[in-house]
Amino acid sequence: MNTIDSKNQRLPCLDVRGNVYFITGASRGIGKAIALYLAEKGARVVVAAKTVEETDEKLPGTIHATVKEIEASGGQALAVPLDVRNEQQIKDAIAKTIETFARLDGVINNAGALYLSDLESTRMKDHDLMHALNTRAVDLIVQEALPWLKLSDNPRILNISPPIDLDPGWFVFAYTRSKYAMSMATMGYAEQLRPYGIAVNSLWPETAIDTSAVRNKLGGDGTVALSRKPEFVAQAAYLVLTQAKEITGRFFIDSHVVEDSGLEDLSSFRVDASKPLLLDFFIGKPPKTKEESLSRVVWPDENGALPSDYPLMPSPAILASEPGQYAVVKVLREIDSYDGLIELSKSIAQRHDIQSPLTQIAKLANAGTAEKVHAFLISVTACPCVRNTLKL
């Protein structure tokens, strides 16, 4: 896996002023944030998305609203209605881009679909939508944009897709398979387009991001409170897009890129600084269920940054030293071998003098039943008497 994670590297920045970037899914969320940030830096952006008018309060934002916001700040933007499943609409959108700006310097493939389900619970209409948006559309857009990218001095393709991990646990999810196809495209495009000087990279968030997908499908306001703002990913996207074109075929994590640029205080990008951050679905080990992926919380430091050597193995005292229910879940998630859970239980029992629940945890640990341990700890932390005793 090609990932930049050096904490001391300063990323070189090219001037994007006057360049034209075609951004899918830019009516809201990460795509909109990237469009606004690039426009602020002097780039001209094509806001390409399906939403032309608000018809669902759960999906706020339109392509026209994004363009209006950019123009109000003095930037230049073009609104293009685009269903990325429609080949003719893609052809028309690229043609409209060239007609308006006479050039195209970059494509940001951000539009996507998310359904966290295994084989038995995946509806084929959801399966088809994920692969149409997350996989097929990327090929269609890049193929149509390629003749114009070849004419650019600093052509870029950025896919919003995760690093690939070949642990079989990831491939349980149809969503993973569709997003990994986009990541494989990053590697394939980078190799094929290297002779043309077209840099192709992937970017992925380290934590949950406050988007409509998180609000509507991954826990609502409770998950949003554990998220970073879309502007964080936008800043990272800008830094990746402005690197030297020789840096290609790589997978970047947003926090690594932003920290490498010299920004040390990340706390302003957190939705709620009093809460821990929820690690993204693709960070860490493969979750067995959607619910397990929503329990991946970790406390950042005073600057809002997560541990650089994450994941960490816990010490028996970690639960006593970290506040909140999130610390309990963090400890459980971090333990690879359940041998350590017995000693952890004894330590907590001695400190807080609650024997019964922890004895049961130890018994379950001896049986090696990870799912039962997880379920029991969740139920224990929901019990008022235990929460009061542990000051959760």
Assess if residue 293 is contained within a domain.
no
The answer to which of 51-65, 213-227, 330-344 has the lowest mean pLDDT is 330-344
What does pLDDT average to over the chain? 79
| Listed residues 215, 235, 269: the one ending a domain | 269
57 or 286: which leads in pLDDT? 286
Tokens of 291: 């619910």
pLDDT in tens, 236-292: 999 999 998 899 999 999 998 998 888 878 888 999 888 888 888 888 787 777 667
How far apart are alpha carbons 328 and 381 in whole angstroms? 8
H helical segments located in 21-122: 29-40, 63-72, 87-101
Assess if residue 202 is contained within a domain.
yes
| Listed residues 217, 240, 269: the one ending a domain | 269
Domain count, the chain: 2
Verify that 234 and 342 share a domain, yes or no. no
Verify that 386 and 247 share a domain, yes or no. no
Res. 323 pLDDT band, cuts 50 70 90: very low
Q: Degrees (nearest 5) of the Cα angle 357, 389, 384?
A: 75
**b/e sequence 155-194, b meaning 16+ C-beta within 10 Å:** bbbbbbbbbbbeeeebebbbbbbbbbbbbebbbebbeebe
Verify that 322 and 376 share a domain, yes or no. yes
Residue 116, pLDDT score: 78
**b/e sequence 268-304, b meaning 16+ C-beta within 10 Å:** ebbbeeebbbbbbbbbbebbeebebbbbbbbebeeeb
The pLDDT of residue 55 is above 80: no
147: CATH: 3.40.50.720
The burial of 100, by beta-carbon neighbours within 10 Å (0-12 exposed, 13-18 middle, 19 or more buried), is given as middle
Q: What is the mean pLDDT of residues 308-331?
A: 40
Verify that 211 and 317 share a domain, yes or no. no
Q: Which residues contact 21 (CB under 8 A, 6 or more apart)?
A: 35, 38, 43, 44, 45, 46, 105, 106, 107, 108, 156, 241
Residue 377, pLDDT score: 54
373 or 317: which leads in pLDDT? 373
Q: Which residues contact 120 (CB under 8 A, 6 or more apart)?
A: none
Assess if residue 258 is contained within a domain.
yes
141 or 217: which leads in pLDDT? 141
Verify that 252 and 325 share a domain, yes or no. no
| pTM: predicted TM-score of the whole model, two decimal places | 0.76
The pLDDT of residue 318 is above 50: no
Furthest C-alpha separation in the chain? 73
Residue 152, pLDDT score: 96
Percent of the chain with pLDDT over 90: 46
Residue 383, pLDDT score: 47
Other C-beta atoms lying within 10 Å of the C-beta of residue 12: 10
CA 149 to chain centre: 26
Residue type, 172: V
Residue 2, pLDDT score: 36
Verify that 323 and 383 share a domain, yes or no. yes
The pLDDT of residue 39 is above 90: yes
Residue 224, pLDDT score: 85
| Listed residues 236, 269, 302: the one ending a domain | 269
Domain of 199 in residue numbering reads as 20-269
Residue 284, pLDDT score: 78
Residue 372's H or E segment, with its range, is helix 370-382
Verify that 185 and 93 share a domain, yes or no. yes
Residue type, 44: R
pLDDT in tens, 174-189: 999 999 999 999 999 9
- Report the DSSP pairing between strands 277-278 and 297-298: antiparallel
Res. 358 pLDDT band, cuts 50 70 90: very low
pLDDT in tens, 122-132: 899 999 999 99
Beta strand extents in the chain (DSSP E only): 20-24, 44-49, 76-81, 106-109, 156-160, 199-204, 251-253, 277-278, 297-298
Residue 282, pLDDT score: 86
Verify that 143 and 256 share a domain, yes or no. yes
Verify that 68 and 188 share a domain, yes or no. yes
pLDDT in tens, 336-349: 444 444 455 555 44
Assess if residue 175 is contained within a domain.
yes
Tokens of 148: 């114009």
Verify that 256 and 376 share a domain, yes or no. no
Verify that 261 and 360 share a domain, yes or no. no
Res. 312 pLDDT band, cuts 50 70 90: very low
Assess if residue 373 is contained within a domain.
yes
Percent of the chain with pLDDT over 70: 73
Contact 5, 28 (CB under 8 A): no
Assess if residue 104 is contained within a domain.
yes
Residue 13, pLDDT score: 65
How many H-runs (helices) and E-runs (strands) does the chain carry? Answer: 17, 9
3-state secondary structure of 251: strand
DSSP one-letter code for 135:
I
Q: What is the mean pLDDT of residues 318-325?
A: 36
Residue 337, pLDDT score: 42
Assess if residue 205 is contained within a domain.
yes
Assess if residue 7 is contained within a domain.
no
The pLDDT of residue 76 is above 70: yes
- Of the candidates 283, 292, 284, 149, the one whose C-alpha atom is nearest the C-alpha of residue 219 is 292
321 or 230: which leads in pLDDT? 230
| Catalytic site residue from 21, 175, 189, 338 | 175
175 is catalytic: yes
Residue 218, pLDDT score: 65
How far apart are alpha carbons 80 and 64 in whole angstroms? 9
Verify that 246 and 318 share a domain, yes or no. no
